[in-house]
Amino acid sequence: MALKAAFIFLAPEVDPDKDRQTVVTPQVELTAVAANNYKEAEKVALKLVEEGIEAIELCGGFGNKGTARIAEAVAGKAAVGVVRFDGHPGLGGKSGDELF
């Protein structure tokens, strides 16, 4: 059975119900979902866990605080990892911690 994983990324003016895509391979089923901010990403993460997601990777826009919020939201129901940037190019060179 393939690992069910997700990637949540931050972007303005998105709809997580529409702005998502799943790639299925023999070993991994990866769902990418866009969220507007940390609060919305928490809701997305909970919904993904309900859908059977076992691992969630967060884009580099999530700072330490944002990563902690997602980890706390899923409360051990999924492993949470993060891609790291000092300043995210898609967020004007800032961390989501500065913006959200």
Structural domain span for residue 8: 3-99
Q: What is the pLDDT of residues 3-19, one digit of tens each?
A: 999 999 999 999 999 99
Please check whether residue 29 is in contact with residue 2, taking contact to mean a CB–CB distance below 8 angstroms.
Answer: yes
The model carries a pTM of 0.87
Q: Is the dihedral of CA 91, 63, 25, 74 positive or negative?
A: negative
Which CATH number does the domain housing residue 39 bear? 3.40.50
Q: What is the pLDDT of residues 40-75, one digit of tens each?
A: 999 999 999 999 999 999 998 898 999 999 999 999
Task: Please determine, for residue 98, whether its predicted confidence score (pLDDT) is greater than 90.
Answer: no
**Number of domains forming the structure of the chain:** 1
